[in-house]
Chains A and B, each alone.
Chain A
């Protein structure tokens, strides 16, 4: 069974500071990995995904994530936080191969950006 752990349910950074949101997964084989963002009262929007190609994945809004198999991690980073980045972020995994692609989500990390 797959699982996802997001360390830190709340992260607070100052505007312009580095954003680092942590995600570790548990899976028998490297799965597909995703980061989604959720703004208040909205659905989820895909930021980026890892599909076994490049280990450093670039996404929208300046976010990127690096897949590290040895650490079973897929941490999300952004060099400089913007006020508009304040939202809930979810890491998710999906089984490798075409197995319905059901997503298993972590508990989420709420990012707060201070002016």
Chain B
């Protein structure tokens, strides 16, 4: 299967700990997006990359959050000093870039629980 993959699928951590999630996009896709979905809500945009450049960040992305895509392939999302309010599903999506609208393909998500 060559879809978007995310690792881990589930993460339980204690408040104050740092966590890192990984996303592997579809190989030919140069755009990569991170979204956060809390229980009972729709996903909210966090940030996106075109190749290795981070082009947009939501105000939801506090300074405790950092995302990287060092070689324009996989991406990591790190949350430092986790808080209970960070508990959510973190979704990654990828798409090809271009002048026409391209579908975003979503991964299965990483569910974070902060105790």
Contacts and interface: CB of A to CB of B under 8 A. Distances in A.
Contacts of A98: 97-101
Most B CB atoms within 10 A — which of A9, A32, A103?
A103
A40 B31 CA distance: 26
Given A42-B108, A44-B91, A90-B42, A101 B56 contact: no
Nearest to A108: B42
A41 B111 CA distance: 9
A107 B42 contact: yes
A105 B55 contact: no
Contacts of B40: 9, 107-108
B26 interface: no
A11 to B, nearest CB: 15
Interface in B59-115: 91, 93, 95, 97-109, 111
A44 B43 contact: yes
B106 A105 contact: no
6 contacts: A44-B91, A44-B106, A46-B105, A98-B97, A103-B33, A104-B45
